[in-house]
Amino acid sequence: MIIEKKREHWPTTKWKLESPESVGIDSEKLHLLDKEINVRLNGVNSFLIIKNGYLIYEKYYNDYNQDKINHLCSVTKTIISALIGIAIDRKFIKNIDQKIIEFFPEFKPKSSDYLKKKLTIRHVLTMTTGFLWSSKTYEPMLMRLRNKKNWINFILNLPIKDKMFGEFQYNSANSHLLSAIIARTSKMSTYDFAMKFLFKPIGISDKISWMTDPQGINIGGYGLQLRPRDMAKLGFLYNNHGVWDKKQIIPLNWIIESLKNYGEGYGYHVWITTINGFNAFIAAGYGGQYIVGIPKLDLVLVITSNATLRRWRDPRYLINKFIYEFFK
């Protein structure tokens, strides 16, 4: 799933713009996608296409523009995964098989909580912790978490269901543990760690926002707000196997391991799928937030949406429609 391509331009400062026709895409057909968004997807705020390293299409809606940040919702999880990979590479964390309880010495599991002693970063990354979280994809427990005064304490005290341990169960609480681990091991906030080791090296603006829990820990499962152009940089970084302008920002092995399917189409906090026969990775967030990378096509797609709408239509189908239409 990884491309090998020499780059003439890196968008650290800004994206270089090219026409759709320069990469073999018909602008008239893109106008039809624009019409589709205007007519059927009133919640969409932006739609960007990066092809061969160039920004070939960029459209904003609902008074959004290229400088306005958008809540990424669960796209935040994929960024947390990248930060874990960087933290391991920089020796803040030993490896993904390190036990979770090692990072929280104040937590003393009961003798009956024997599975909690087995929990590793790998379990957390692949959403296989087995915590009582009600269902595989829907998260009714999330509201309870938000109402707690100490999120980490609440998460670590969640029961583990024997039958679910090792099985995929989507759980935003897992991601928050990872953010806390980054903060504890690096002795800096997850926000500061991200700015130093990920965002600044690839030119992501510091005009961002990242929500925190009551203890000031940046929320791992959601809460990060970025500009769409900066989201595209993250997809581009993954497409280029963690390299940015000759510098290895995310370890190569981490990219490779992240983009494997460990169950239910899930890698290390990123969705793995195929679209029209092409391998793809998708960072997805509630309400219609997407970073999509298709390495073989040297393609990155970004969609942001208003996640606060009570009634909305998921623009995910638009991604498939674009790929099927232009890459037959």
Q: Is the pLDDT of residue 176 over 50?
A: yes
What are 79's two structure tokens?
């960024």
Please state, for a pLDDT cut of 90, what percent of the chain lies above it: 88
Alpha-carbon separation of residue 187 from 90, 96, 177, 184, 193 (angstroms):
13, 19, 15, 5, 9
Average confidence (pLDDT) over 99-107: 96
Is residue 255, in this structure, part of any structural domain at all? Answer: yes
Residue 266 sits in a domain whose CATH number is: 3.40.710.10
Mean pLDDT score, 166-191: 97
pLDDT at 135: 62
- The yes-or-no verdict on residue 62 having pLDDT over 50 is yes
Q: Could you tell me if 53 and 110 lie in one domain?
A: no
pLDDT at 289 over 80: yes
Query: Domain residues for 114?
Result: 96-183
CB neighbours of residue 2 within 10 Å: 15
Calculate the average pLDDT of the chain.
94
Last residue of a domain, one of 124, 155, 183: 183
Amino acid in the structure at residue 116: K
Q: What is the pLDDT of residues 88-100, one digit of tens each?
A: 999 999 999 999 9
Q: Classify residue 193: in a domain, yes or no.
A: no
What mean pLDDT is predicted for residues 113-123? Answer: 95
For residue 133, tell me if it sits in a domain: yes
Of 127, 161, 183, the one marking the end of a domain is: 183
Q: What is the pLDDT of residue 311?
A: 80
Q: How far is Cα 284 from Cα 269, in angstroms, rounded to an integer? A: 10
Domain membership of residue 8 (yes or no) is: no
Q: Is residue 51, in this structure, part of any structural domain at all?
A: yes
Question: Above 50 in pLDDT, residue 25?
Answer: yes
The residue that leads in pLDDT, 312 or 272, is 272
Mean pLDDT of 95-118: 92
Same domain? For 32 and 118 the reply is no
Measuring CA to CA, which residue among 64, 63, 66 is closest to residue 55? 66
Do residues 309 and 231 both lie within one domain? yes
In a domain, 294, yes or no: yes
Report the domain count for the chain.
Answer: 2
Q: Does 1 score more than 50 pLDDT?
A: no
Token digits of residue 177 = 């543990």
Please choose, from the candidates 235, 239, 276, the residue with its C-alpha nearest in 3D space to the C-alpha of residue 48: 235
Q: 137 pLDDT band (50/70/90 cuts)?
A: low
Residue 222 lies in a domain: no
Give a yes or no: residue 132 inside a domain: yes
Q: What percent of the chain has pLDDT over 70?
A: 97
Q: What is the mean pLDDT of residues 165-187?
A: 96
Residue 5 has pLDDT above 70, yes or no: no
CATH for 127: 1.20.58.710
Please say which residue of 183, 216, 243 terminates a domain. 183
The residue-averaged pLDDT of 311-327 equals: 92
In this structure, the answer to whether residues 236 and 308 fall within a common structural domain is: yes
pLDDT in tens, 195-247: 999 999 999 988 899 999 999 999 999 999 999 999 999 999 999 999 999 99
Q: Contact at 8 Å (CB) between 307 and 71?
A: yes
More confident residue, 205 or 303: 303
Report d(CA 127, CA 163) in Å as an integer. 14
101 and 64 in a common domain: no
Judge whether residue 4 has pLDDT over 60.
Answer: no
- Both 48 and 114 in one domain: the answer is no
Residues 63 and 138 in one domain: no
For residues 104 and 178, state if they share a domain.
Answer: yes
What Å distances lie between residue 46 and 18, 62, 64, 223, 271, CA to CA? Answer: 18, 9, 7, 18, 21
Residue 11 is encoded by which pair of tokens?
Answer: 């968008």
242 and 313 together in one domain = yes
Please give the distance of CA 325 from its chain centroid, rounded to a whole number: 26
Beta strands in the chain (DSSP E): 44-51, 54-60, 70-71, 209-210, 224-226, 243-244, 247-248, 271-275, 278-285, 289-294, 299-305
